[in-house]
Chain A
Amino acid sequence: MTALAALIRRDIRIALRVGGGALIGVLFFLTVVVLMPFAVGPDLALLSRLGPAILWLGALLASLLTLDRLFMADHEDGSLDLIAMSRTPLELACAAKALAHWLAAGLPLVVATPVLGLLLNLDMVATGAVALTLLAGTPALTFTGMIGAALAVTLHRGGLLMAVLVLPLSIPVLIFGVAASQAAIAGPLSFGAPFSILCALSLVSLVIGPFAAAASLKHGLD
């Protein structure tokens, strides 16, 4: 347990230092959402109707933006070799890294949502619904994105490949995330059904992600 705690602590520390990824994600999220009212125009009703979708898209892209470095940095400086050799199972180490990434880069997106909701003319209920769905859904984005990040190391290609691999996996999360938010705001569907599916997606990715990433990394070490 100390090993995993140490890994989580280290990754969060690096992410929060200068040049770390944590702030970049939030800034990107902020940029996308701030620009949207200028592009859509001053139609408040339209903005509040699009609001949840815009927030979800921004959060999705922001989390993809920082994910591709998840294993690449450790691979480049040789840390991944030592992690793979250690007494900690690689699956657990992957899960710990993803958790650290979510705490440093995913959680701030959820925290920033209420502020950004103001810009999109969302009321209290709507903002709360979007923040809640993001809280439930962003772990799924991180843990499925981790698979792509591991493949990027294996295939020695970063960046765009990762986005292409991960985007299809994150589409269900986007669909049910936005559906749950819309249901809470406008109805007529119940909030429960899409939200439960969103939670289920997160739980499934929590289980599958670390195993898939570890399997990919084991093949990629050379």
Chain B
Amino acid sequence: MNGLVQGQMQLTGRGVTCVRGGREVFSRLDFQAASGEAVAVVGRNGSGKTSLLRLLAGLLIPAGGTIVLDGGDADMTLPEQCHYLGHRDALKPALSVVENLSFWADFLGGERCDAAASLTTVGLDHAALLPAAFLSAGQRRRLSLARLLTVRRPVWLLDEPTNALDAAGQEMFGGLMRAHLARGGMIIAATHAPLGIDARELRIGGGV
């Protein structure tokens, strides 16, 4: 029942307001995203791009407004159908690359692909047995991307996904995102740099 959706999905936010630490980050934000669509959230530093992603991931509670996912799996909440790729990589330095990846695959559950194949795709197959402590920043990011590939989730929430990736890595990641969209997935990415795919722009704050 889980895995990628049958038919269309639509993510709608209406009048979403975010308050953090008593300060209003953004207010009355409307947005929409559909299957096969990428949304690039842009805005200056501190305008609330990360906060918006964390609201969608259920890690923050909106001070006002609603976020609704139509379509998708009715038995699951929105966060349960999301992949969240944040600033922090959720990797344990003491575990090897493949241990890190297979832990998240086992823990997140649902429809999954071969972990070894994902490592090959992101170009980390040669380092599979290396402890994650020895990875460079770019390699850590690649390992996080392998998580998105190994466990199928229809919605990807990406926070500055291309950070630390080299040119080849960004190209590889662009291909992965296009494949995800072609399967009917949805991407919402907070970014300063170009994403490398066609994306609708959602501007928050920014003194407009």
Q: Which residues does A use to contact B, with CB under 8 Å?
A: 2-3, 5-7, 9-10, 13-14, 17-20, 76-79, 81-88, 221-222
Q: Which residue of B lies closest to A75 (CB)?
A: B88
Report how far A40 CA is from B108 CA in the complex, Å: 53
Partner of A18, one of B84, B94, B109: B94
- Flag if B57 contacts A3 (CB, 8 Å): no
> Could you list 20 further interchain pairs (A-B, Cβ under 8 angstroms) beyond the known A10-B99, A81-B84, A222-B60?
A2-B106, A2-B109, A3-B108, A6-B103, A6-B107, A10-B95, A14-B94, A77-B91, A78-B89, A78-B90, A82-B90, A82-B104, A82-B108, A83-B107, A85-B59, A85-B82, A85-B84, A86-B80, A87-B76, A87-B109
Report how far A83 CA is from B108 CA in the complex, Å: 8
Q: Which among A10, A14, A17, A77 has the greatest number of chain B C-beta atoms within 10 A?
A: A10
- Flag if A10 contacts B92 (CB, 8 Å): yes
Report how far A83 CA is from B80 CA in the complex, Å: 10
A-B contact pairs, 9 of them (CB 8 A): A2-B106, A3-B109, A10-B92, A10-B95, A10-B103, A13-B95, A78-B90, A82-B84, A85-B58
Q: Which residue of B lies closest to A1 (CB)?
A: B109
Q: Which residue of A lies closest to B132 (CB)?
A: A77
Q: Which residues does B use to contact A, with CB under 8 Å?
A: 20, 54, 57-60, 76, 79-80, 82, 84, 86-92, 94-95, 99, 103-104, 106-110
Report how far A85 CA is from B89 CA in the complex, Å: 15
- Flag if A14 contacts B92 (CB, 8 Å): yes
Report how far A5 CA is from B102 CA in the complex, Å: 12
Shortest distance between the CB of A96 and any CB in chain B (Å): 10
Residues from chain B with a CB closer than 8 A to the CB of A78 are 86-90
Q: Which residue of B lies closest to A222 (CB)?
A: B60
